Every structure is written in C-alpha cells, then in structure tokens.
Amino acid sequence: MSVTIARPRSLRGEITSPGDKSVSHRAVIFNALSNTNTAKITNFSPGADCSSTEHIMKSLGVEITRKLGGGADGDTLTVKGVGLEGLVEPDDILDAGNSGTTTRLMSGVLAGQDFVSVLTGDQSLKNRPMGRVVNPLTTMGAKISGRANNTLAPLVFHGGSLRGINYNMPVASAQLKSCLLLAGLRADGITNLSQPAESRDHTERMLSAMGAVLKKEGLDLILQPSELETIDVEVPGDISSAAFWMIAAVCHPDAELLIRNVGVNPTRSGIIIALKKMNAQLKLMDERQVAGEPVADVLVRTSDLKGIELSGDTVPLLIDEIPVIAVAAAVADGETVIKDAQELRVKESDRIESSISWLRAAGINAEGTSDGMIISGNQQINGGSFQSYDDHRLAMSLGIAGLISEQPITISDPDVASISYPGFWGTVKELGGLVG
C-alpha cells in the first residue's frame, strides 16, 4: 500500500493534536503502581505504542478499561491501582511492539519485582540499544539478561531487591531517568541522578503530583522510596504530532493553521524554539495549565524561514521532531546545521541516514554527520516515490514534504504512522493533500 500527497492551493483550518504519547505512557504506568484507588485518564493517545503499555500493564494484573473517543476526542482509560507490590507474574512474554518508551520504562518497573518476566518487541525494537538502562539497573541490584551481552531485547528480569544509587547519566534521556526513578520508588535507599542537560520532565511532574518524595537541585534528581496516590490525568495534545502541522504551515505558500490543545511543556517545546529562531510566524494563544502541564493553542502562518544551527541543550528538547525540521531546512533561506543529535542513529530507523537518503532523492543538497546533518536551503523538493523505512516519523515527514512540494510525493508503507498518530493521513485528506 502507498499514499500520494500533492500540495493543496492553501492550508487553512483547525487541527486537534492527539493525546501526548509521553504523558499517556506515564499516566497508565504510574497510576497502576499507585494505591488501590481508580484513576481516570482522558484524551489518551490512540497510537500503538501507548496501547502496548496498556496491554503489558493488563498482563501484570492491572485492571484497565478503555472507552473509545469520537472525533477529536481521545480515548478514556480507567486504571485501578495495585500499589508498588501488587503486580503479578505474567503468563506469557510481554510484548512492547515498536515502543522504546514502553521497553525502557517497564524495565524500571520489572527490575525489582519478585517474579520472572520477559520483555520483547518487534524486529526494529530488538535492534535498539538497551544497555543504557540495563547497566544502571544492574548496579542497583537487578538481575537482567538479554541478547548481545545484555544490551538487546528480549530482556529477562529475574526478580530481586534493589538499592538506591548515585548515577551520572551519560546522556540527557527522559526514558533513562524515568526508568531509574521507577526502579528507585521501591529501592532500598535514595536514588540520586545527575543529568548532563535537561530532558522532558513529565515523569518528575507526575510523580511529584502523586506524592513521590522527589527533589530537583539544578540538574540533579533525588528520590526517596515512595508510595504513590492515584490521580486523574487529562492528557494534553502531543507537541511531537503538532510539529508536523507547524512545519506544513510555515513552509506552504498560503497557510494559516490553528492547532488546538497542544502541550507546551518547556522540556518539550524545542520545536517552538527552533521555528521562532527560523523566523516562523508562530503564536501561542490561550496559554493555560491542565493537570500540571502547560497547554496552549498554536497559530502558525506562512513564513520566510531562514537556516539555523541546532545544537547543545536544545537538541534533547526536539529530538523526535528533527526528521520534520529537515523538511523546513530544505526550503529555508540558508544552511541548517544540526549537531549533538547522535541519538537519532538508534531510533526506529537511523534517522540521520534515512532523512538524508530521502532528501537527496528529492533533489536536496544534504549530508549526514556522525551526530547530525547539514542541509542547504533555498531548494525545491522534487516529487517521486519514497520509502518510510518502517519509521512513523519518516513517513509523516514525507507526508508534510508532499504538502509543500510542487510535485506529488508517494510514500510506501504509510500505515506505520499509526504507531504514534493513527489519524494523520485523515487530517492530510481533510487539508486537501491526499490524492491517492
């Protein structure tokens, strides 16, 4: 199957971004580990990744019910907490599908349980590095085995007690720190994590709201063993999903889009920082707080973009958005240089290599580096047929390229977008871009 996208005459309307994946994952896991009250999670992400987390928690004995939403509304989940000690040994292997977030967060949960469990995923996930969570968990006392010297899934958790550690994180990673904080909840002693830079802080916000004894001192996180209390969570719209429409609007010659209910957490809003630096016409409207998370409506218009450098502490704040930022870089005035993004090499695809591959095939002067890419601007994206590399963000980035290219773009295997954004192609169609 494939889809073909052609540039509509104009891009105008309102879009509601689906529920944030990062918040959805955490809302299910944390509430499941809370006391025996029941929590309600609204606007839960419809993507396959978050469904993987839901299914794993059910396999561990957590009672979860799901009510499907309609239209722009996400699904609603009810989760009955079992407490930190209430999970049960699963009957079968736990399947995380394509979700690295599920795998790494659940590793923190399973590491200290009093039973044996096996965690695996699809072929792509089995090739993604897990040593960065296995090594510190092992230091905490966990007994974990896996392929390639315990660095690749499937991972086997053999059960046992954990102790708190002082740990200097080698990379700024929300998944790594969340894994270790989850393990630290039931460890013996204090867990102290030193981050090299900020990364998304949904875990810290939610754990604190649920009663965890967690302090932040600069870039250090200090957690005492803690019981959690269930809380209701209204999940904001996913800024990583909204980013596609932001890029489409600023690059299209006649566009004005209002994207509703977008989570604009400062540790996630690197895309807004980058676009404003590129001279984008972008405005946050009706800024508000929802369940402890900052939310806004985002108004975006056709813009005269300029090339920029993205590096350093900004990169962890927009790591998931770089494939679609590359689309904007291709048409911006001047060169765009992306550095310090080596994390892209170990995503669903090697996102440096796969992005450079399609850009060059589309006539864009671009080169990959060990930790990023260099993209010459002032170029016209040529049409043609392109593969998605089985990577949801690559597929959707190609879809956005089709909305701004003067020639149609055909994308193979577009269904991979459902991993994070099942309604993506439907929105493209509503905007007038889907032609086949």
- The catalytic residue positions are 320
3-state DSSP helix/strand/coil percent for the chain, to nearest 5? Answer: 35, 25, 40
Q: Residue 324: count other Cβ atoms within 10 Å of its Cβ.
A: 28
DSSP 332: S
Distance of alpha carbon 152 from alpha carbon 127, whole angstroms = 6
Structure token digits, residue 285: 């409207």
DSSP 140: T
Distance of alpha carbon 295 from alpha carbon 205, whole angstroms = 14
Element (H, E) at 403: helix 392-404
Distance of alpha carbon 124 from alpha carbon 346, whole angstroms = 10
Q: Are 134 and 144 in contact (CB under 8 A)?
A: yes
Strands 94-95 and 75-80: unpaired
How many residues are recorded in the chain? 436
Q: Are 219 and 195 in contact (CB under 8 A)?
A: yes
One-letter identity of residue 354: S
Distance of alpha carbon 74 from alpha carbon 50, whole angstroms = 12
